Amino acid sequence: AKDPEERFQSARDVARALAWSETEPVERAAHPGRREWLGWAFGSAAMGGTGWMWFQGRRESAGAAPFLRLDVDLGDGTALLPIMTRASGSIAISPDGTRLAYSSGAKGMLYLRKLEEAKAVPLAGIEGASHPFFSPEGQWLGFHCGSDICKVPVEGGAMLAVGPAAAATFAGAWWGEDGYIYISEAYTKGLLRVRESGVAPEPLAGLRNGEIALARPQLLPGGRAILFAAHTTPDVDKATIEVLTPATGERKIVARGGQSPRYVAGAGGSGHLIFVNKRALLAVPFDPGKLETRGSTVPVLSDVAMGRFGNSDFDVSRTGTLIYRKDLLDKAGVSEAEIT
């Protein structure tokens, strides 16, 4: 609306208008009265070739969908896993943008929620789970459990172990379209991959002198290279964002001063590299063919919850739906997202 008085004054107003503000609580086991919030953003061209129209506040083409940002209340008593004690996110969104997965509670239970529905459903018989991630077709949910990488069908079924991954050093995983699950182990092994069917992991890249983690891996489209963040210090904002070519073992720095990298494909074979620095989500155009950035880096969000080793809690679907855990700072400078 041209008149500011006729516009929604907050994302919460939009949520109420869409009748999403009265969702049922999904868990009441821990911390009664506590409410945990997620933010999400919709836009078919949000990370496509038309430009980042949703943070620019205008349409770049006639076909671009308008940007919509909403808050999602997970309900009274819901507590996501402590972010500072985890090495990657506790939330995930399916590739088609229709399902949300998250780990919650002292027992580490896994929940699935269709975004069109009001309630999340716990996966029966699973405890001690964290770091959920979806298979490329969205039919399986992978996660860390105990000292293993495990998987379970999203429609229900038995949990299966895929391969070992030490809890103390686990720093993220990605399920590639090539049938491998890519794993990061900090301090020890670097980057590895294991067949989704379950065999012994094989090493891809070890830690170099001074490195403590190669975190948050992602297999880029076409399987040519793996995107990750290389950490040499506990200060996650000093990490370098790199790509690894498995065929040659060659590594290349594509950005400096960021962590939790993700590539988001757009039209015409190009896309954007998104990453976090000081709780701000940033974006820069990225050419996956040349494995290099181009153009300027621009801010997208400013309140993404962040922990160690690239533990910025966000995920993005292939359809352009971005979901993230909000980092709410109190007056003492302590992140509410870190308190459970």
Average pLDDT by consecutive 10-residue portion of the chain (340 residues)?
Answer: 61 53 34 50 32 28 54 63 56 93 82 87 88 96 93 93 89 95 93 92 94 95 95 89 96 94 85 92 94 93 73 86 75 37
Q: What is the pLDDT of residue 53?
A: 23
Q: What is the pLDDT of residue 180?
A: 97
Q: What is the pLDDT of residue 287?
A: 94
Q: What is the pLDDT of residue 116?
A: 85
Q: What is the pLDDT of residue 306?
A: 73
User: How do beta strands 129-134 and 140-145 pair?
Assistant: antiparallel
| Cβ–Cβ < 8 Å for 141, 129 | no
What pTM, to 2 d.p., does this model score?
Answer: 0.78
Buried b (16+ CB within 10 A) or exposed e, 253-291: ebbeebbbbbbbbbeeebbbbbbbbebbbbbbbbebeeb
Q: What is the pLDDT of residue 234?
A: 84
Of 183, 72, 152, 150, the closest CA to residue 118 belongs to 72
Q: What is the pLDDT of residue 332?
A: 40
Measure the CA–CA gap between 244 and 10, rounded to whole angstroms.
42
Q: What is the pLDDT of residue 118?
A: 80
